[in-house]
């Protein structure tokens, strides 16, 4: 199964995404949730319109997505049911006021700060995966 990177970023009042492996395909929606919902169908439509010589083997098979966020606002919007700027600040060990500036788009985090946020999210996800209940 092919794993396709979906590059997501904030776009005006919504979000947009493109796939590096699919030239010319761009999708924009009001929310990341709507974008995820329409992504596969949009790709199928795009691939259908390609010339035969442009089609690659993975385009006829099954594939999965890896979402890569270009900014903090689109990440927080995408997972707003699970995280907010306060919890993201706690998870990553970043000052809440600073995180508020990142989530509102007032400031852009450095590469090092983005790595710190990503590391914090991955650690938290790993911790959640270890949760179990004694229901015997």
Read off the pLDDT of residues 102-123 as tens digits, 9 standing for 90 and up.
998 899 999 999 999 999 999 9
The tokens 């776009």 sit on which residue?
11
Total number of domains in the chain: 2
Query: What's residue 85's pLDDT?
Result: 92
Q: Which runs of consecutive H residues, i.e. helices, occur in 9-110?
A: 32-48, 72-78, 85-92, 96-104
Query: What's residue 60's pLDDT?
Result: 83
What is the distance between the alpha carbons of residues 22 and 89, in angstroms, rounded to a whole number?
34
Contact 15, 77 (CB under 8 A): yes
Long-range contacts of 41-44 (CB under 8 A, 24+ apart): 43/19
Residue 133's domain spans which residues? 71-136
Shared domain check, 62 and 86: no
Shared domain check, 134 and 79: yes
Shared domain check, 43 and 25: yes
Within 8 A by CB and 6+ apart from 68, the residues are: 5, 6, 7, 8
Read off the pLDDT of residues 25-73 as tens digits, 9 standing for 90 and up.
999 999 999 999 999 999 999 999 988 888 888 888 888 999 999 999 9
Q: What is the dihedral of CA 18, 21, 22, 24, to 10 degrees?
A: 60
Shared domain check, 77 and 25: no
> Would strands 63-69 and 2-11 be described as parallel, antiparallel, or unpaired?
parallel
CATH of the domain at 124: 1.10.260
| Sheet of 2-11, strand order | 26-29, 14-18, 2-11, 63-69
């Amino acid at each position: 199964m092919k794993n396709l990177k979906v590059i997501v970023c904030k776009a005006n009042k919504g979000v947009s995404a493109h796939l590096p492996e699919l030239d010319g395909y761009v999708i924009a929606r009001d929310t990341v949730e709507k974008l995820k919902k329409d992504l596969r169908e949009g790709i199928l439509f795009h691939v259908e319109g390609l010339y035969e010589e442009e089609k690659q083997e993975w385009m006829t098979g099954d594939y999965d997505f890896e979402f890569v966020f270009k900014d903090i606002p689109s990440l927080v919007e995408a997972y707003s049911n699970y995280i907010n700027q306060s919890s993201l600040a706690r998870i990553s060990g970043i000052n809440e006021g600073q995180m508020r500036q990142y989530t509102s788009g007032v400031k852009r985090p450095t590469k090092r700060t983005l790595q710190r946020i990503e590391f914090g999210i991955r650690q938290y996800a790993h911790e959640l995966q270890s949760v179990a209940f004694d229901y015997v």
